[in-house]
Amino acid sequence: MARKETVRSATPAGTRRAAEEELRELKAQLRILTDEAAKNEVILRKTQERELDLLKAESLAALLGVLVHGLGDSYALDAVTLVLLDPQHEIRHLLIGGGQRLEDFPGVMFVESLAGMAPPFANLQRPWLGPYVGSDHQLVFPGGRPLKSVALIPLPRQDRLTGTLNFGSLDPKRFTRHHATDFLAHLGIIAAVCLENAVNRARLLRSGMTDFLTGWHNRRYLHTRIKEELARAQRHGTPVACLMIDLDHFKQINDAFGHLAGDHVLRELAQRIDGQIRGSDTAARFGGDEFAILLPETSAAEAAQLAERIRQIVCCNPVDVGTGHTHPLSISIGVAAVNPGRGERDLKAVADGLLAEADAALYRAKARGRGRVEAAAQAGGAAHPMNR
């Protein structure tokens, strides 16, 4: 009988101990959940603040700065890069046209295709989180930092991937496949919308520097661009060349076939020239039937070779001027080049001199019979056509 009483008296004590242990475990779990909730609240607040920063960015350049440097500082990341799909070099040209230098955005990579950048890019519909693998991620995170974990965030617009925002950390547990990705996915959508809006605003601004007939830049843009290229050439010790191109006897085309036919001829001329120049070259309608091509990192001899090739391409086939008529094309080209020294301070004067030299060479070509290439004195004359 005494034994039964001992068992009965021990049971409530054991129950209390079990209940106390369970309560301690619940309190520990509650602390963990509370800490996670607090961390998530901080992340949410930071995300909302960064989204506001993205939405308030007043220019494309400012937005890129917020995406790379702002997010990196806000989230205490060891690496942030932005990969933008830019197959036609439009975003790059918009930045340059806005007075920016591409080297001022070291964390931004402009690519013609996302294929081959990283294996997850092949089907990146949601953020990809996981360990850093050099062979897979070194193109996305150049620089050789010993990253341990990464997050690759897609930038989707209208069912297509326009780029990725990429986070890197030295902490292997910072980004793992077990983490939720809702915050990052939402951030990617906001970033993509902001980028699209910024590019559209930059396009609108650029429209004031674009020739509506040919789609080329106008003279105003060329004057802005040439000073930027001369400054870059001065830093790197490289030459800059310029071609001035004039359509021979253009007035005769207008008089014989009408101004609409003349407009068509100018567009056709621009298209034929476009096929011979690089994406880094700047083509502008200088005025009327006169065009200018700015050629970075191009010597006088290379520019003369290109000019002769353009002349032959333009003149090899007649152009359709409507009503069953065709008309042969002939152009005259003036070539000049300059290599600004490091001590040169007045780059505007250098720019004006380069344009004046090319223009003078153009008028020599017209005075000597048209349909030919003439080079400024320092360019040394035109060379035989060859691949550039």
Residue 159 and residue 284 in one domain: no
pLDDT for res 384: 32
Q: Are 202 and 60 within 8 A, CB to CB?
A: yes
Residue owning tokens 């409507």:
322
Q: 313: domain CATH number?
A: 3.30.70.270
Is 20 part of a structural domain of the chain? no
Residue 68 and residue 158 in one domain: yes
d(CA 240, CA 225): 12
Is 168 part of a structural domain of the chain? yes
Is 5 part of a structural domain of the chain? no
Q: What is the pLDDT of residues 77-110, one digit of tens each?
A: 999 999 999 988 889 878 876 778 888 899 999 9
3-state secondary structure the chain: CHHHHHHHHHHHHHHHHHHHHHHHHHHHHHHHHHHHHHHHHHHHHHHHHHHHHHHHCCCHHHHHHHHHHHHHHHCCCCEEEEEEECCCCHHHHHHHHCCCCHHHCCCEEEECCCCCCCHHHHHCCCCEEEECCHHHHCCCCCCCCCCCEEEEEEEEECCEEEEEEEEEECCCCCCCCCCCCHHHHHHHHHHHHHHHHHHHHHHHHHHHHECCCCCCEEHHHHHHHHHHHHHHHHHHCCCEEEEEEEECCHHHHHHHHCHHHHHHHHHHHHHHHHCCCCCCCEEEEEECCEEEEEEECCCHHHHHHHHHHHHHHHHCCCEEEECCEEECCCEEEEEEEECCCCCCCCHHHHHHHHHHHHHHHHHHHHHCCCCCEEECHHHCCCCCCCCC
Residue 147 and residue 278 in one domain: no
Residue 137 and residue 258 in one domain: no
Is 282 part of a structural domain of the chain? yes
Is 356 part of a structural domain of the chain? yes
Is 321 part of a structural domain of the chain? yes
pLDDT for res 380: 41
Residue 107 and residue 234 in one domain: no
Q: Examine the fold and report which residue of 159, 188, 205 is the final residue of a domain before the chain moves on.
A: 205
Model confidence, pTM: 0.52
Residue 96 and residue 115 in one domain: yes
Q: Are 273 and 208 within 8 A, CB to CB?
A: no
Is 298 part of a structural domain of the chain? yes
Number of domains in the chain: 2
Q: 178: domain CATH number?
A: 3.30.450.40
pLDDT for res 378: 59
Q: Examine the fold and report which residue of 187, 205, 223 is the final residue of a domain before the chain moves on.
A: 205
- Domain holding 333, by residue range, is 211-379
Token output for 86: 């830019």
Residue 235 and residue 337 in one domain: yes
d(CA 257, CA 251): 10
Mean pLDDT by 10 residues, the chain (388 residues): 48 78 82 78 74 87 93 91 91 80 90 87 90 93 92 92 96 91 91 94 78 84 88 91 94 86 89 90 90 94 95 91 84 94 85 94 94 78 34
pLDDT for res 386: 30
